[in-house]
Structure 1
Amino acid sequence: MENYFKVNMNEYLPLRDVVFNTLRQAILKGELAPGERLMEIQLAEKLGVSRTPIREAIRKLELEGLVLMIPRKGAEVAKISEKSLRDVLEVRRSLEELAIELACHRMSEDDMRELEVVQGRFREAIAKGEAMAIAETDEHYHDVIYQGTGNDKLVQMLNNLREQMYRYRLEYIKDEDKRQVLLVEHEHILTALKSRNIAEAKDAAREHIDNQEITVSRNIKEKEQEHAGGSRGRR
């Protein structure tokens, strides 16, 4: 287990919530890899806490589907599966279309200018090739659109879904061949929003999500085949 992450104390949150948020982010960002075992003693030492909040956090992460309890082995980070990807994207596709429609009606000119600025940062991140920076600016781009809907409940639901999407977003961005496609897709959405063309904006958003599903599904299958091949080779 590499020493990638550390606990960020927050005086307004109970320790168990701070530990939970720390481990959750480490899983979502890939700092704790799919299939990696979660050893209570090691995690407690790494984060400088007792085993009790670690145990509570692992239990909550299991309820979210981010951790699996394996008989006689203990807890491990849940692997990324095609079904979980499909489940998340089916919901995201519907919510994104609603967000795009509302944003077409409600985004102000200032919002549009902000979206253009964020798209510029996204373009710079892709040029530098830093996966985490690309993921963060991609998130920021969508955040501007979500906030432009003026619907707090929708923003809350999309933000919750975004947390679950983080692992898939990183998996997509790791594919360097797709980064320029991502950039073009963002441009299409931006152009349609600026012209208040709801149908075109929805089509662009749908294509954006469909391409993500195709690419990440292919990556998952390739990893499963590699794992299966490796398992046969060890027999």
Structure 2
Amino acid sequence: MGVVQALPESSAIDAADEPQRRDTISFHVPQGVAPDGAGDRPSVLGQLPPRDTTALVRDVRDRLRLAIVLGEIQTGSRLNQVKLAQQLGVSRMPVRTAITELVTEGILEVVPGGGVIVSPLTADDVRNVFEVRGALEIRAARTVAVDQPTWGIAKIEKIVDAHRSHFHEYAPAQLLTADRDFHMAILDATGNPFFRRSIMPVWSTVERAMVQVLNLSEVFEQAWTQHDQIARAIRAGDADEVEATSREHLEFAAEALARAILVDSADPATGVT
């Protein structure tokens, strides 16, 4: 898609294998990395500044996750801990710990004989993860509509207003951030921290799928229109409308992303996946 550069030959991927909360996923564009997706921007995997151990592991994990989400480290690529540590300017320990956390999230997987690769992403994965989203997010949205937390609704509306007229100009990382901010604001507005904590392990899969449609403006236009409708229904305290609109939004997104993955994985010669 021209979103990111391929990693150089000295990258953290073996060439032969090519084919602020604690519970918050952070995909902020690292300092020194241009947010416009330009071809000459530095790699996401640039060197990290000094950090305490806990923060360093989190930063390494977030950089690796972002590189995977944006396709800088591609599906099926085998990760090389030594090269990753060199690229990020850290020891192997935080890299090893970060990789373990990403295996738990499901975007990396251990392969027979040792080593870790970027997990495949299938249309069924997308549909399954959106089923989980529906169970959590629809309930959360109903709760907010019923409880009417002033601070939470104000935050949701502020996010919708802030992004409504600008998302056409956003680079990939900004589009992902705008979408995430909206959905996390609804979860946070419930006042129950376990909504957010429950969704975090699957969110990287959501964003890996979203990258497939970043060039389809109509998908984001529809999604942001639905964000606005959900926010209005929450403000009106109409729990049934909130549930119906949220369900429609998630079902629309799931099918759009699943179709994009099927198209992307099809054999160019036959069109068969």
Deviations 1:207-230 (A, max 9, x none): 111111111111111111146759
Correspondence 1:1-235 to 2 at 5 A = 1-2=7-8, 3-6=43-46, 7=48, 9-11=50-52, 13=54, 16=57, 18-70=59-111, 74-226=115-267
Q: Structure 1: give runs of 5+ residues left out of the alignment.
A: 231-235
Q: Is the 8 A contact 1:193 1:201 kept in 2?
A: yes
Structure-1 separation of matches of 2:177 and 2:133: 18
Q: TM-score, normalised by structure 2?
A: 0.73
Using CA pairs below 8 Å that are at least 6 residues apart, which structure has the higher relative contact order?
2
With over 3 angstroms needed to count, the CA separation of the structure-2 counterparts of 1:28 and 1:127, relative to structure 1, is closer
2:17 is matched with which residue? none
Deviations 1:178-234 (A, max 9, x none): 12111211121012111111111111111111111111111111111146759xxxx
Q: Structure 2: give runs of 5+ residues left out of the alignment.
A: 1-6, 9-42
With over 3 angstroms needed to count, the CA separation of the structure-2 counterparts of 1:60 and 1:111, relative to structure 1, is closer
Deviations 1:113-168 (A, max 9, x none): 33222112221332314232122112111222112111122232134443442222
With over 3 angstroms needed to count, the CA separation of the structure-2 counterparts of 1:147 and 1:107, relative to structure 1, is farther
Higher helix share: 1
The percentage of counterpart residues that share the same residue type is 24
Q: TM-score, normalised by structure 1?
A: 0.83
**SS of 1:88's equivalent?**
helix
Q: Kindly state the Cα deviation for residue 12 of structure 1 after the two structures are TM-superposed.
A: 5.3
Count of aligned pairs between the two proteins = 230
- Structure 1 stretch 117-126 or stretch 182-191: which is displaced more? 117-126
